[in-house]
Structure 1
């Protein structure tokens, strides 16, 4: 069922049920359908195929997405975290002559497009659909980028509909789900969880960007039973909230990075907790693989899980020793590729495409992905696998470690960032020199009280400043 038909079906069956709840208010299914229909009439009058949306509020995004879907337009998701110059460049590059927004007009005076807010319209407007091809452009989602230009990924209506319909049962998205998504709504995970929740008749609850107070406000208003987010925000939920505020959470859906054993153990203390599903994917491929994280087990070489139904993966250039190769994904969820104005063509092998992620095939349906931050590094001509270094830290009960190659100085250095209380430097040096060759030993170990967080909610150590409040201690090792 397409996105508009699903929305109107729920609006007819459950008109007064809350579809979207944000810090600014809420919309029932009937109100959402009415406002999206009103917006679609406006969008159909525009001669251009693409229309942009620049929004922090989930209500704006919900109306904008379904209005564009009904009108047959391509919705271009613009990132509120982009610097002004990058925003202007992307608007021009992606040919967004019109942009919907919940920003004030004064903030967007210089933008090279016609900017308008979404009016409330008539909640009881007749729902008139039109037959639209499923292989049309539905969305353009941009990869992260603050200084360099992001890649714009083109998704068809069919690819997104199929991913939602296949993934929803595994990811616990049902009519009974009240989903808290406390991260940015303009990034892949937040946007996907919004559309998924509405398509399956649930209630979506979101602040549009991470804020402790915003999350507390929303959890005080609704008894959310499902959370969709990234590990750094899960970590903040536990550190900033009382356990009672999270007491109704039954299902946790996590993506973007591996969950630490500490966070998994904290999840299991929740009174209503049933299960956690960790998934791996990309904006180019949507869902690829998933794993049920019901134990404290953590794999040291990245993400390991089962392929989603209808997804298959094969490897190119396989290392005969490690079994690791470049993953090519064949899936009905795959994006068309990149907009040619923002990136070269995506790597292809017949119907399969690749973002050059590295993986090891375990069986036909089981696969282990080497997350990009865990991939092999080269320092002064030496190949270094972060998993080897992380394994040494684990012998000291330090399980949350990120290895980074710092190229800012004249001589590139290896730095280990550890989310851990301050440790004894001499003991750490002893263990590292005892178990690793010198070229694999970090030059410096940085103890953090929490992972620094980028706009998307993911851990972002590359932007950590020397005086960042997260830093507890720096230990020079060699």
Structure 2
């Protein structure tokens, strides 16, 4: 039961309390329940939902998973042709596990599929995976315990609800009976206004959003002392973002976690107010409640502490697998241990993320993961962002190169080398540096190491060499 039975409960117990506020429109618990319930009779067994952030989105999503129904959530920002293709695939591939004749707003069988998730991926067509109702109920229990969500919290997720991070935040709040807020689109001023006037106590967002909110909030004297929880996902927080967030929201515990769409939550850590962060480190905390983590080699054998291998998970939170797009590598299993191919190691119970095997740089017989290099560079004073990659090299096989976006003014290779002295082993440090006009990103907004190498190879002015 993901959350519908709980909505009924909150509507009975607290009918006039606020359930959701999206783009300024508010629905109390009783209004939310009644609006969703009215849509259930006309909602088909499978729904492809492609709607911008709105109260209507939240209501329609609730109706679309009632009973044994299934819902696929598409990003309205995707190209219309891609949207049409995905809608066709959803209706052709999804097989309802039972034709629901129940038109009430109730949860279906725990083991049944309710969500068809779509990964953004790097391919032209996103992969589609499915989740059971029970897997999300278990996830709610784990995340509510880990993050300390309370009914008197007001959660603001300023990103698109089509994103799994924000869709989960909405659903988690509906399950917990806690107020959820979102905006039509991300706007720094709107988020600052909500924090100031709407009693927001909890933020769920990605690191780039947190940096903008924190730095501009400090400049504009926006008071975020009432925020007690910040939850970040998508990538590890760099030193500059952590420092700005700590100053802007001094009373907040800042959580970052590692997970994957197919695995759900894996590990996480909270940085309480006043704590000192591990600058430049690769650690992502300890396993979530109910989650076991092991590092296995390619044959499925366990590896000892501090030895890198496949990050494998055993939990009740793992997805059911793919409807389409399964190449046999994206989600693999060794018995009941699952991996999405991320590499890492355990050290005294803490999980360290190194990155995808495909990104690994082999230089002079040593394995170097760009993620390690980028985290260390982001901790160097004067660096706003960094990206690393492996260039072909006749002597070494590959050499590590890095591009940096300065935080202000200029920066030199000598400053970068000096800044890495205590952060990165010598054999993992870049041999060549470039100043970037901006991060190399794909048309989907993902940082592209391939594009960085292309800029370097073609002498593109967006990557200016700082020498060796």
Aligned to 2:98: none
Change (3 A) 1:373 1:22: farther
Shift of 1:162: 0.8
* CA deviation map 1:275-316 (0-9, x unaligned): 112111111111111101233423545233111111112222
Residue 216 (structure 2) pairs with residue 231 (structure 1):
no
Find the aligned partners of 1:362 and 1:34 in 2 and give their Cα distance: 50
Change (3 A) 1:429 1:158: closer
Change (3 A) 1:87 1:390: closer
What does 1:37-436 align with in structure 2 at a 5 Å threshold? 37-43=37-43, 46=44, 49-95=45-91, 128-129=104-105, 132-145=108-121, 148-219=124-195, 221-241=197-217, 242-270=220-248, 273-294=251-272, 295-298=275-278, 300-317=280-297, 323-339=307-323, 341-345=324-328, 346-363=331-348, 365-372=349-356, 376-378=360-362, 383-386=367-370, 389=373, 393=377, 397-398=381-382, 401-405=385-389, 414-425=401-412, 427-428=414-415, 431=418
Find the aligned partners of 2:399 and 2:378 in 1 and give their Cα distance: 25
Find the aligned partners of 2:382 and 2:203 in 1 and give their Cα distance: 27
Counterpart of 2:91 in 1: which secondary structure?
A: coil
Q: TM-score, normalised by structure 1?
A: 0.79
Count matched residues: 436
Q: Which stretch shifts more, 281-290 or 380-389?
A: 380-389
Shift of 1:265: 2.5
Find the aligned partners of 1:374 and 1:417 in 2 and give their Cα distance: 22
Shift of 1:154: 0.6
Find the aligned partners of 1:373 and 1:170 in 2 and give their Cα distance: 29
Residue 3 (structure 2) pairs with residue 3 (structure 1):
yes
Q: TM-score, normalised by structure 2?
A: 0.81
Contact 1:432–1:441 under 8 Å retained in 2: no
Aligned to 2:27: 27
Change (3 A) 1:326 1:377: same
Counterpart of 1:298 in 2: which secondary structure?
A: coil
Shift of 1:183: 1.1
Shift of 1:164: 0.6
Shift of 1:371: 3.7
Find the aligned partners of 1:14 and 1:438 in 2 and give their Cα distance: 57
Shift of 1:139: 0.5
Which ranges in structure 2 are unaligned for 5 or more consecutive residues?
95-102, 393-397, 456-460
* CA deviation map 1:139-159 (0-9, x unaligned): 011111476211112111000
Change (3 A) 1:199 1:391: closer
Q: Which stretch shifts more, 438-447 or 416-425?
A: 438-447
Contact 1:260–1:399 under 8 Å retained in 2: no
Find the aligned partners of 1:196 and 1:439 in 2 and give their Cα distance: 41
Find the aligned partners of 2:82 and 2:402 in 1 and give their Cα distance: 30
RMSD of the TM alignment (CA)?
3.8
Find the aligned partners of 1:319 and 1:175 in 2 and give their Cα distance: 42
Shift of 1:71: 3.6
Find the aligned partners of 1:299 and 1:432 in 2 and give their Cα distance: 12
Aligned to 1:106: none
Which ranges in structure 1 are unaligned for 5 or more consecutive residues?
99-126
Q: Which stretch shifts more, 451-460 or 61-70?
A: 451-460
